Amino acid sequence: MLDIKFVRENKELVKENIRKKFQEEKLPLVDEVIELDQRNRELKQQGDTLRSQRNESSGNIGKLMRDKKIDEANALKDEVKKINEQLVKIEEEEEEVSNKIYEKMLIIPQMIDPSVPVGKDDSENVEIERFGEPIVPDYEIPYHADICEKLNGLDKESAGRTSGNGFYYLIGDIARLHSAMLSYARDFMIDKGFTYCIPPFMIHGDVVNGVMSFAEMDAMMYKIEGEDLFLIGTSEHSMIGKFKGQLLKETELPITLTSYSPCFRKEVGAHGIEERGLYRVHQFEKQEMVVLCKKEEEMDWYNKMWQYTVEFFRSLDIPVRTLECCSGDLADLKVKSCDVEAWSPRQKKYFEVGSCSTLGDAQARRLGIRAKGEDGNYFVSTLNNTVLATPRGLIAFLENNYQEDGSIRIPEALRPYMGGKTKLEAK
């Protein structure tokens, strides 16, 4: 959410930002909030003037009563009563106007970074860099579900009976491999100096509204019926919400956290749920990184974070590339974002395995997260990035470590988490 003062002083800049995101339907909101803000300031001024008059009259009433000037005192009492009645109406309108401003400001998108390429959707995202050679072996790489089934590691049929489409059972070595990757991701980030956390897996509605846009919430979140609770779609939601309403000491910044959680998503939209495989599902697990920092440190942390994800996947012998998300592909709260994509030797193309984003002070402003600095209090910047989301990460691992004899090679970094095994074979 933008600062209303910024909108007031940079109306055309805010409108141009909306155009870059191809959201022209939101352009009228800018003029509407500016008009409402003008009215709000008028009401505040009127209220302040009336309160000053009331205080002065109230002081005079006591003086007149002491001087036995009862009639004059009663006249002033009537005046104070009228002032109070006026104040009630002004305060009611002020609250109504403030609520309208807040609701409209929630819809106006965050200002994107000047470096973000302009484009309508993810088809116009820009490749930045490749890491590792995208090899296609001279033998066939099976579909990941077939690899899992050969290792007796996947049962979607039973999950369909218990839970429906979009769920799965992982079994045996595949389940162990899945957990091993998450454990390795956890320790990888701890070694980078991040503090490990396991957050609540449900959050209140006001936290949801603080961390994401309404459109994202409708497409992603599962709500618990009859409760003010939502299942998280990523642990970032809980981790940023942890600091809701807090005034942090500047000396505590940056706060660097890495969190594990299951994630639950409706996956509403054109992509839909994958019938047979594990690429797009309702439930998955994730190791995340979250940073709260000063604004001037924001871009340094952004670049460190996506590089950590690249380093993690390369340590598992998975080639990756980074894509700069264009303006039309950025969620409304994001300032800048890039995707990390893993190479699929089966499909001969890259697919998304993680996303790194800085949201500036958008989440902090919505949730009231500030730091106390030498020159006063300020809203912090918040960033998040995927270390590993799996089973999608598992798919990348299986395809890139699949051997001609049908076994799965275990890279050295993962062997301590797999009981020293160097490969997985069908039994």
What is the distance between the alpha carbons of residues 322 and 132, in angstroms, rounded to a whole number? 12
Helix (H, G, I), strand (E, B) or coil at 45: helix
**For the residues of 201-250, what is the DSSP string, one character each?**
SEE-HHHHHHHS-HHHHHHHPEEPTTSS-EE-SSHHHHHHHTTTT-EEEG
Helix (H, G, I), strand (E, B) or coil at 369: coil
83 and 129 part of one domain = no
301 and 409 part of one domain = yes
294 and 388 part of one domain = yes
pLDDT of residue 79: 83
What is the torsional sign of CA 137, 142, 144, 150? Answer: negative
Task: Note whether 228 and 351 are within 8 A (CB).
Answer: no
134 and 193 part of one domain = yes
**Cβ within 8 Å of residue 38, ≥6 positions away:** none
18 and 64 part of one domain = yes
Q: Which domain holds residue 67?
A: 4-107
CATH number, domain containing residue 282:
3.30.930.10
Single out the residue in 107, 138, 167 at which a domain terminates.
Answer: 107
The answer to whether position 115 is within a domain reads no
The answer to whether position 114 is within a domain reads no
Structure tokens at 316: 């598992």
Which residues does residue 340 pair with via DSSP β-bridges, in sequence order? Answer: 322, 354
CATH number, domain containing residue 23:
1.10.287.40
CA–CA–CA angle 23, 27, 33 (5° rounding): 130
The answer to whether position 330 is within a domain reads yes
pLDDT of residue 54: 83
Structure tokens at 311: 């380093």
pLDDT, tens digit only, all 427 positions of the chain: 899 999 999 999 999 999 999 999 999 999 999 999 999 999 999 999 998 888 778 777 777 777 778 877 778 788 888 888 889 999 999 999 999 999 999 999 999 999 999 999 999 999 999 999 999 999 999 999 999 999 999 999 999 999 998 899 999 999 999 999 999 999 999 999 999 999 999 999 999 999 988 777 777 899 999 999 999 999 999 999 999 999 999 999 999 999 999 999 987 555 556 678 899 899 999 999 999 999 999 999 999 999 999 999 999 999 999 999 999 999 999 999 999 999 999 999 999 999 999 999 999 999 999 999 988 999 999 999 999 999 999 999 999 999 999 999 999 999 999 999 999 998 7
225 and 340 part of one domain = yes
Helix (H, G, I), strand (E, B) or coil at 269: coil
Please name the amino acid found at residue 389. A
Single out the residue in 107, 142, 177 at which a domain terminates.
Answer: 107
Single out the residue in 48, 73, 107 at which a domain terminates.
Answer: 107
What is the distance between the alpha carbons of residues 293 and 360, in angstroms, rounded to a whole number? 10
259 and 380 part of one domain = yes
pLDDT of residue 426: 82
Domains of the chain: total: 2
Residues 207-245: b if buried by 16+ CB within 10 A, e if exposed: bbebbbbeeebeebbbeeeeeebbbbbbbbbbbbbbbbe
Name the pTM for this structure: 0.90
Phi-psi region of 149 (alpha: psi -120 to 50; beta: other; left: phi over 0): alpha
The answer to whether position 376 is within a domain reads yes
What is the distance between the alpha carbons of residues 398 and 423, in angstroms, rounded to a whole number? 11
pLDDT of residue 273: 64
The answer to whether position 321 is within a domain reads yes
Helix (H) or strand (E) segment spanning residue 323:
strand 320-324
Residue 418 CB neighbours (<10 A)? 20
The answer to whether position 173 is within a domain reads yes
The answer to whether position 224 is within a domain reads yes
**Cβ within 8 Å of residue 253, ≥6 positions away:** 292, 293, 294, 297, 371, 380
Phi/psi for 365 (5° steps) reads: -70, -40
172 and 85 part of one domain = no
Task: Note whether 423 and 408 are within 8 A (CB).
Answer: yes
196 and 336 part of one domain = yes
Helix (H) or strand (E) segment spanning residue 368:
none
Structure tokens at 52: 């000053």
The answer to whether position 101 is within a domain reads yes
Phi/psi for 193 (5° steps) reads: 95, 10
pLDDT of residue 60: 79
pLDDT of residue 58: 73
374 and 234 part of one domain = yes
Helix (H) or strand (E) segment spanning residue 151:
none
97 and 166 part of one domain = no
pLDDT of residue 253: 97
292 and 249 part of one domain = yes
